[in-house]
Amino acid sequence: MKEKGRGGPSNLVKKHCSVKKDAQENMSSFSELPTVKADAAFTLLAAYKTDTNQNKVDLCPGFYRDENGRPWILSSVIQAKERVHADPKVNHEHLPLAGHAELLRQSKELVFRKEDRDLKRVASIQTVSGTGANHLAALFLSTELNPKTVWFPNLGWINHTEIWKLAGSHVQQKFYPYFNGENQNIDFDAMVEVLQEAQKGDVVVLHACAHNPTGVDLSKEQWDTLATVCKNIGLFPVFDLAYQGLASGDIGQDASAIISFFDRGDLEFAVAQSYSKIFGLYGERIGMLHIAALDVTAAAKITPVLIQLSRAEITSCPSYGARIISQILGDLSLYDQWLEDLATMNNRMKTMRESLYHSLLVKRVRGSWDHILTDTGMFSMTGLSTTQVTAVREKHHIYMLPSGRISVTGLTTHNVDHVVAALEDILGTY
């Protein structure tokens, strides 16, 4: 007699379920993750490193390079490192939760200047460089201020939108006009007009100086007008300060917009401060987040919240770079040497701007180039389309961002003629 159920439907179902279960068990839990677009700047940097052409030129990253195209260690940093290494009291314990205590004070004074300002109404915390400061600001503001929208300049730093997308995903992102590519200047009237659409409590991201990627900054009068706009609407500004001392060459002038907003006494805002560029300490990841409140009581309430957020992410910040910078800011001779180092970087960038500009004019390369001499900081826009940027890279091995932004620190006396010849080939002449 045939055994009941043997080979029947119930066993087939069991077998099918077993196969399906095995397939599921062999499938990764992350197989449905979306494809993330590669970072444009670092992808190009990697491509540049593998390029074997002897005439290759890297005009992509915002890193200072010397006349030989190599990383430069500031003289003030070399001396400060020697002092840190010689100090027998230095150990490898972590910093307090708020960061290096002395550097916190020094950083406030560097941004807001000493004079008679009441810096007790500024809440500060050390961060993982300027990116970490921007991220912590986004995390803090998106939860505590709960803005409906965050406004970014068009054009602007490509990482700002990514930071807010992750730290404040519920906050809508919009752009305000900033750069007029045809005239190579700021479209300020359009900027103010669009910001009138903002609502009270919205966040607006601003570049304090050496605007990235355009190199074009607001005038004092424009900053004053913008401060009034922020006050009237109730906007909360976030200043990105990555190039203090590398825009005008004067650390006070480069922070003047922030100081002006602070001295009004009727605005609250944040400052994301980076020490990477101005000390050449890119890998040490030292930065600060400052929140300027209307009064001391409010500032005192902000600090513990920032510490709580930071504690949950990193506990404490890197100490080595913080000790180096604190040595420099706290010693008159090292501080003076640092100012000389800033002058060295500024003078070389100015020289390369002039060399590029004059070579373009001599070759009569098609385009508008006067802005190269008036732009500030490391960057300028070339006006090249994405297609032309690709052509320059593939044909001449010159690397720049898809937007057409160049970093003048990548120019040297050895390669500027090659760059101009490539632009002449792609753009043509008059």
- The Cβ of residue 425 has, within 10 Å, a number of other Cβ atoms equal to 14
Q: Which CATH architecture has domain 94-330?
A: 3-Layer(aba) Sandwich (3.40)
**What pLDDT, on the 0 to 100 scale, is given for residue 38?**
87
The whole-chain average pLDDT of the chain stands at 94
Residue 205 contacts residue 156 (beta carbons within 8 Å)? yes
**How far is residue 154's CA from residue 230's CA, in Å, rounded to a whole number?**
18
Average pLDDT over residues 178-191: 92
Greater model confidence, 86 or 6:
86
CA gap 98, 389 in Å, rounded: 43
For the stretch 388-413, pLDDT in tens is 999 999 999 999 999 999 999 999 99
CATH 3.40.640.10 in the chain, residue ranges? 94-330
Partners of 398 in the β-ladder: 57
Strand partners, 127: 287
CA 320 vs CA 27, 80, 136, 267: distances in Å: 44, 11, 21, 34
40-72+347-427 to CATH, choices 2.60.40.10, 3.40.50.10490, 1.10.3720.10, 3.90.1150.10: 3.90.1150.10
- Residue 264 region by backbone torsions, left for phi larger than 0, else alpha for psi between -120 and 50, else beta: alpha
Residue 62: pLDDT band with limits 50, 70, 90: confident
Helix (H), strand (E), coil (C) string for the chain: CCCCCCCCHHHHHHHHHHHHHHHHHCCCCCCCCCCCCCCHHHHHHHHHHHCCCCCCEECCCCCCECCCCCECCCHHHHHHHHHHHHCCCCCCCCCCCCCCHHHHHHHHHHHHCCCCCCHHHEEEEEEEHHHHHHHHHHHHHHHHCCCCEEEEEECCCHHHHHHHHHHCCCCEEEEEECEECCCCEECHHHHHHHHCCCCCCCEEEEECCCCCCCCCCCCHHHHHHHHHHHHHHCCEEEEEECCCCCCCCCHHHHCHHHHHHHHHCCCCEEEEEECHHHHCCHHHCEEEEEEECCCHHHHHHHHHHHHHHHHHHCCCCCCHHHHHHHHHHHCHHHHHHHHHHHHHHHHHHHHHHHHHHHHHHHCCECCCCCHHHHCCCCEEECCCCHHHHHHHHHHHCEECCCCCEEEHHHCCCCCHHHHHHHHHHHHCEC
At residue 56, does pLDDT exceed 90? yes
pLDDT digits (tens, 9 = 90+) for 230-287: 999 999 999 999 999 999 999 999 999 999 999 999 999 999 999 999 999 999 999 9
Where in the chain are all domains bearing CATH 3.90.1150.10? 40-72+347-427
Q: b/e string for 53-66 if b means 16 or more Cβ within 10 A? A: eeebbbbbbbbbbe
CB distance 209 to 243 below 8 Å: yes
Average pLDDT for 4-27: 62
Q: What is the pLDDT of residues 26-46, one digit of tens each?
A: 788 898 899 988 888 889 989
pLDDT tens per residue, range 289-324:
999 999 999 999 999 999 999 999 999 999 999 999
Residue 347 to residue 338: CA distance in whole angstroms:
14
Catalytic residues: 157, 240, 277
Cis before 104? omega within 30: no
